[in-house]
Chain A
Amino acid sequence: MSESPHITGWGVASALGVGRDRFCAALLRGESGIATVRRFDTSPFTTHVGAMVAGYESDDRDPALLSHEFGMLALCDALAHARLELEALRSMRAALTLGASLFGDHTTERLAHNLAKELRISGPAITVSTACTSSTQAIGFGADLIREGFADVVLAGGIDVLTPALFAGFHALGVLSKRPCTPFGRQMGTTLGEGAGFVVIERGGLRDAVTHARLRGYGLSGDAYHETSPEPRGRGVAAAIRGALDDAGASEAEIGYFNAHGTGTVANDTAEWCAVQSVFGSDLGGSLPLSSSKGHLGHAQSAAGVLEVISTLECMRAGLAPTTAGFEEARPGGPPRPVGSKQPKPLVYELALSSNSAFGGSNCALVFGKAKPATASNGDRRRVFVSGAAALCAGVSCIEELASIYAAESPPSEGDLQVDLAAELPRVDLRGIDRASELLTTVVSRALADAGVQLKGKTRARTGLIAGVLRASPDSLYRFHTSLERRGLAKPDTTAFAQVLPSAAQGACAKALNIRGPQSTVTIGEGSGLMAAVMSAWMLAHRRDSDHMIAAAVDVRSERSPEGALADAACALVLCTEPTAVEVAGIGLAGPEQLDEAIAEARRRCGSSEPVELFVERRNPFGGMPATSSSFALAHALGALRRGKAKSAIVASTGTTASVAMILTSTEVAHDD
């Protein structure tokens, strides 16, 4: 494993200002960017405050346009800070990892595509859509791209725009505070925000750059608890923090400052404080400088994590502890003494931890700072194997049926896909489950059965799930948007709102099956399922917090959106570190128009000079299933290798923002006939 990636710059477009000069000045003065919302009419609501990007307070253009603009502002700011000219960037192996959760009729990868195109980054762009942990995860995965050698420089961050629909959803859930939020303080509730932030992370020694900090490690987990509420004792948060410390090779005592998710809601702040005490102990946890940046920035959703990392980096440079703007008096059940001065106070620390949590029970923590690891991190890479798979679409109920479809190159049968999840999973509460969640849960449960994995006891915390998903389930999106139209902004369907993010299906599946290891929802457009498999393989290869990773994908037919899938489909593969008959032998990753490069890279990493026997076409015959088709190809390859039809297979796919290739090989010793 290579050394920790270097953080060489960052940039922001936020409520505290656009550009890091203004941002930093306002932050160090202890200012808050929260004000009365002017972009849209808040009269249907009982609260009227929000944290809009400075200068865009009244800008009510299409959120997709605003997202792009915020993104470009932050990206250019970050490149300037890193002293990286666009020309130089284009000559480097550069990649983009973006946290974004646009909900509505847009497919999320479009934003990353447009940003990469405008910057003319030729490498892969990966979008992480896990609501409020999106950008936190994007930074972690950005580090993976560098550590795995797929990029030399990564622009990692997130973007979000505060829309009336989002405001309406949170308002209806009753979690918005009347006045600007004061995390850990007597007032309960959060304030929504928006913005964009990016960090430049790169391999050291590439160029003459200033290293402001190292990105030491990250951790992921799932609560498997509730759509919108955190696990009350913070077990999931604690697991992500422990994962990050382990990845960073750092001890609890080395953490000098903790940037909490600290939304200000009763449920979040109490659960998070339980997690801090359980990881750091009540003594260390009680004295650990801890604060939340949301009093300054509001809750910027998909951009929250990166903006909080940047706040911490700025303060760390200045020898200050970020403060909790607006905090006056501690609330019962929360941290008794969070950092809550009017302005940041002096504090010297070399290593910081930033934690975020999201709807669907997603948690992510990052460890970063000037301190180098005391010992070399993690050690050897582990080999990764495939232990099971399941495929599901009309006419396909197991992976063996894929062979004839690929052989005949004929699409699977027409008609509706029927599943009876209640019969398959008698001990699971399926009330309110939407179509994407139902299909994903079915296929993941079957893949686990195929792999012989029983999710019991400790196995649950050491099993993870990465889903390739382009958009939220159309039935939930439809329910939410029609409820807004028919009932007004004050009365949206809250049960649908809890499921309108792309990660909802992954969260619901994790909850139903009790999967609590590392989890994420990603997209590159077409080929997202294969991307999920690649990231799952990395999780197992270089981390120690999981034994099984489920790489899944789901598409749900959308009659109302021209960009949506044409058919219901879901597929899952179980990857593991315990040797099985099939090994993940090589991975290739490249930009969207570079499929051949991705394939060549996978072959190079495979290290075998023998020709690959089976090449699985990327789309055919599963058209109109953008997330799932490449997972079907993988499952088909697995079936062929298991049946001895081939000794090696390559699956490749090119999507809107990246090309991916994966080589599977049989580990069975060949017998001469």
Chain B
Amino acid sequence: MTTDLSDYVSSRVAVLDGVRRMLRDAMKLRIEPESIDPDVPLFGTGLGMDSVDAVELVVQLDAVFGLTLAGSPWVSAKLRTVNTIVDAIMELGDEP
């Protein structure tokens, strides 16, 4: 594995683990972080969160990761699976 790739993977895993812990602690999902698959759907099926949870999730993403989604267009595209959240948080780091 190249250094670039291994750097990328370890930074991604760090964000992924952070999101998983946030889901357990702040969203009270009663699930161990390692049991949360990266591509698991957040709402309806998968983790089974609902519209009430969605509001709190947006607040938590802002508070914990500085990811501000409230009011931005296409929020629904970023809140689909754990991986789409991780993507959005990692894009923050890419911005100047």
Verify whether A and B have any Cβ pair under 8 Å: yes
A residues whose Cβ falls under 8 Å from a Cβ of B:
172-174, 226-229, 422, 429-432, 487, 491, 493-495, 498
**A174 CB to nearest B CB, Å:** 7
The verdict on A494 contacting B56 (CB below 8 Å), with A430-B30, A431-B29, A431-B30 known, is yes
**A-B residue pair count with CB separations less than 8 angstroms:** 34
**B58 CB to nearest A CB, Å:** 9
Contact B55 A173 (CB under 8 A): yes
**A189 CB to nearest B CB, Å:** 13
Counting CB contacts under 8 A, is B52 at the interface? yes
**A223 CB to nearest B CB, Å:** 14
Contact B30 A172 (CB under 8 A): no
The verdict on A495 contacting B53 (CB below 8 Å), with A431-B28, A432-B28 known, is yes
Contact B28 A493 (CB under 8 A): no
Closest residue on chain B to residue A487 by CB atoms = B59
Name 20 extra pairs, CB < 8 A, besides A173-B52, A495-B53: A173-B55, A174-B51, A226-B50, A227-B52, A228-B52, A429-B48, A431-B28, A431-B29, A432-B28, A487-B63, A491-B59, A493-B56, A493-B59, A494-B52, A494-B55, A494-B56, A495-B27, A495-B28, A495-B52, A495-B56
16 intermolecular pairs with C-beta atoms under 8 Å apart = A172-B55, A173-B52, A174-B51, A174-B55, A226-B50, A227-B52, A228-B52, A430-B30, A431-B28, A432-B28, A491-B59, A494-B52, A494-B53, A495-B27, A495-B28, A495-B53
B-chain residues with CB within 8 Å of residue A498 when the two chains form the complex:
52
- Interchain CA distance A227-B51 in the complex, whole Å: 11
A-chain residues with CB within 8 Å of residue B29 when the two chains form the complex:
431
- B43-90 at interface with A (beta carbon < 8 Å): 48, 50-53, 55-56, 59, 63
Count of chain B residues with Cβ under 8 Å from any Cβ of A?
13
B residues whose Cβ falls under 8 Å from a Cβ of A:
27-30, 48, 50-53, 55-56, 59, 63
- Interchain CA distance A172-B50 in the complex, whole Å: 14
Closest residue on chain B to residue A46 by CB atoms = B71
A-chain residues with CB within 8 Å of residue B51 when the two chains form the complex:
173-174, 229
- Interchain CA distance A493-B51 in the complex, whole Å: 13
- Interchain CA distance A429-B28 in the complex, whole Å: 12
- Interchain CA distance A422-B31 in the complex, whole Å: 12
B-chain residues with CB within 8 Å of residue A172 when the two chains form the complex:
55
B-chain residues with CB within 8 Å of residue A495 when the two chains form the complex:
27-28, 52-53, 56
B-chain residues with CB within 8 Å of residue A429 when the two chains form the complex:
48
B-chain residues with CB within 8 Å of residue A491 when the two chains form the complex:
59
B-chain residues with CB within 8 Å of residue A229 when the two chains form the complex:
50-51
B-chain residues with CB within 8 Å of residue A174 when the two chains form the complex:
51, 55
**B14 CB to nearest A CB, Å:** 25
Most buried by B among A422, A430, A493: A493
**B4 CB to nearest A CB, Å:** 38
B-chain residues with CB within 8 Å of residue A227 when the two chains form the complex:
52
B-chain residues with CB within 8 Å of residue A432 when the two chains form the complex:
28
Closest residue on chain A to residue B49 by CB atoms = A431
Closest residue on chain B to residue A493 by CB atoms = B56
Lowest 5 A-B CB distances belong to which pairs? A494-B55, A432-B28, A491-B59, A494-B52, A431-B30
A-chain residues with CB within 8 Å of residue B63 when the two chains form the complex:
487
- Interchain CA distance A493-B27 in the complex, whole Å: 10
**A8 CB to nearest B CB, Å:** 43
